[in-house]
Amino acid sequence: MALTKNQDLLLIPGPTPVSDEVYEALSHETYSHTDPRFVQAYKNSLDMTKELFNCQEGEVYVVAGSGTLSMEMALVNTVKAGEKILILSHGYFGDRFIQLAQAFGIETDVLSADWGQHVCLSKLRELLAQNEYKAVTVTHVDTSTGVEADLEMLVPIIKESGALFILDGVCATAAIPEDMGKSYANNPDYKIDIVLTGSQKALGIPPGLAIVAFGPKALQAREELGHIPAYYSDIKNWRPIMENPGRYFATPAINMINGYEAGLKLVMAEGLEARYQRHRQVAQALVKALAVYALEPLATADHRASTLTCVLYPEGVDDGKFRNFLAEKKMIVAGALGPVAGKAFRFGHMGNTTVEMLEEALVLIAQALQDQGVKVDAEKALEVFKSNLDK
Ligand SMILES: Cc1ncc(COP(=O)(O)O)c(C=O)c1O
């Protein structure tokens, strides 16, 4: 994999750096959507998407759109107006399901965590015992807080209630396991029913694709709904195309599919387990290195994502000045949202982001802090980063 075309140190929580192989595939001549070469690329992409989610018993849908469309596809194909869902919210993107559900007349209960914390499991059990939910939505990694949902705990509790388990993987897919074939707590009924995602984060592909995997129970829910208030989002309209990508429903994003195929080949060549391990190791090393600068993650230690970190500033550091300093050096990080806006920055470290890029980032962060009079030791941070990667 090569990254020669990336001019910026793009370390926001998505979009993320794109490899040359993907850029080459994107810039491929635009074929007809019925051209056998394109049809084959689409088929390969769908096969690899199934493998990515271990969704052999279900169906996958890859269409032009963004993560928000995939959220909509997940919901509107399984839940109807008047039915109730429970939304587990670890921040801004968990909350997005509230407006989405409301747009379709779906009733909602929301279990929110304080920013940086995981939702309370006993409150979850209480809500599930007192209500009948058609589905529960869980954001795998909330991009606003860097909190990773604990699937080992959540899947059995939620599936015991009979609700569908809908997982928003936008900021996790291809970096953290999302295994739809896995039986949690050794119970064959305790499986993730839907994983939805977008192309622009840990997959290392530009924005532009909505990707949704439906397990058998989610597909059954779609059948039971009959007519749904959707057209482009209705998987029944897309099913013939997913079965045979040479057919037409709406013009596919030809070049994006080419790029997606190339990106997934890189993901599979690395190996899913190796990729998950790399993300875990890099994230842990990075958090330890940032601690040398007295920079602490917002997320509590047990629930830190390996894709991004929301990093709290020490007292007195100005957010605007800090990020502008970095931007002048072509290192781009994102501002924080909600209650931590101005008090933290969001640092993406997923997909094609390399160790060398992160080493450079650590040096630039030291300079940005020094610019505001904070004394830090970049050499020490680099030493801590490297020694934790070797473990
Ligand atoms: C966890 C999560 N869910 C959903 C979305 C929405 O995706 P998009 O912006 O691609 O529509 C995002 C976007 O960053 C996200 O991080």
- pLDDT block averages, 10 residues each, the chain of length 391: 76 96 95 96 98 98 98 98 98 97 98 97 98 98 98 98 98 98 97 98 98 98 98 98 97 98 98 98 98 98 97 96 97 97 98 96 98 97 95 67
Nearest CA to ligand 1 atom 15: 170
DSSP secondary structure string for all residues of 235-279: HHHHHHHHH-TTS-SS---HHHHHHHHHHHHHHHHH-HHHHHHHH
SS (H, E, C) 110-177: EEECCCCCCCCHHHHHHHHHHCCCCEEEEECEECCCCEECCHHHHHHHHHHCCCEEEEECCCCCCCCC
Instruction: Kindly give the pairing relationship between strand 331-332 and strand 9-10.
Output: parallel
Q: Where are the domain boundaries for CATH 3.40.640.10 in the chain?
A: 20-269
Instruction: Give the H/E segment covering residue 108.
Output: strand 107-112
What atom in ligand 1 is closest to the CA of residue 69? 11
What atom in ligand 1 is closest to the CA of residue 142? 1
The C-alpha atoms of residue 106 and residue 18 are separated, in whole angstroms, by: 37
Given this model, what pLDDT does residue 53 score? Answer: 98
Q: Are 200 and 206 in contact (CB under 8 A)?
A: yes
SS (H, E, C) 298-325: CCCHHHECCCEEEEECCCCCCHHHHHHH
Query: What is the whole-number distance in angstroms between the Cα of residue 181 and the centre of ligand 1?
Result: 24
Query: What is the whole-number distance in angstroms between the Cα of residue 69 and the centre of ligand 1?
Result: 9
Nearest CA to ligand 1 atom 10: 67
Query: What is the whole-number distance in angstroms between the Cα of residue 93 and the centre of ligand 1?
Result: 7
Neighbours of 360 (CB within 10 A): 17
What atom in ligand 1 is closest to the CA of residue 71? 4
Given this model, what pLDDT does residue 7 score? Answer: 78
Given this model, what pLDDT does residue 191 score? Answer: 98
Half-sphere exposure of 261 (CA within 13 A, CB side): 21
For tokens 């009924």, the residue is: 189
From the list 334, 299, 312, the residue with the least C-alpha distance to 14 is 334
Neighbours of 270 (CB within 10 A): 14
Decide whether any atom of ligand 1 lies within 6 Å of the 221 Cβ.
no
- Under DSSP, the state recorded for 12 is S
Decide whether any atom of ligand 1 lies within 6 Å of the 170 Cβ.
yes
Q: Tell me the two tokens of residue 381.
A: 């941070």
What pTM, to 2 d.p., does this model score? 0.97
The C-alpha atoms of residue 351 and residue 172 are separated, in whole angstroms, by: 10
Identity of residue 323: R
Query: What is the whole-number distance in angstroms between the Cα of residue 68 and the centre of ligand 1?
Result: 6
User: What's the CATH architecture for 272-389?
Assistant: Alpha-Beta Complex (3.90)
Q: Are 106 and 79 in contact (CB under 8 A)?
A: yes
The conformational region for residue 351 under phi > 0 = left, psi -120 to 50 = alpha, else beta, is: left
Decide whether any atom of ligand 1 lies within 6 Å of the 171 Cβ.
yes
Give the CATH number of domain 20-269.
3.40.640.10
Decide whether any atom of ligand 1 lies within 6 Å of the 183 Cβ.
no
Q: Where are the domain boundaries for CATH 3.90.1150.10 in the chain?
A: 272-389
Query: What is the whole-number distance in angstroms between the Cα of residue 170 and the centre of ligand 1?
Result: 6
Q: For ligand 1, pick from 170, 173, 209, 256 the residue to mutate: most ligand atoms within 8 Å of CB.
A: 170
Query: What is the whole-number distance in angstroms between the Cα of residue 195 and the centre of ligand 1?
Result: 13
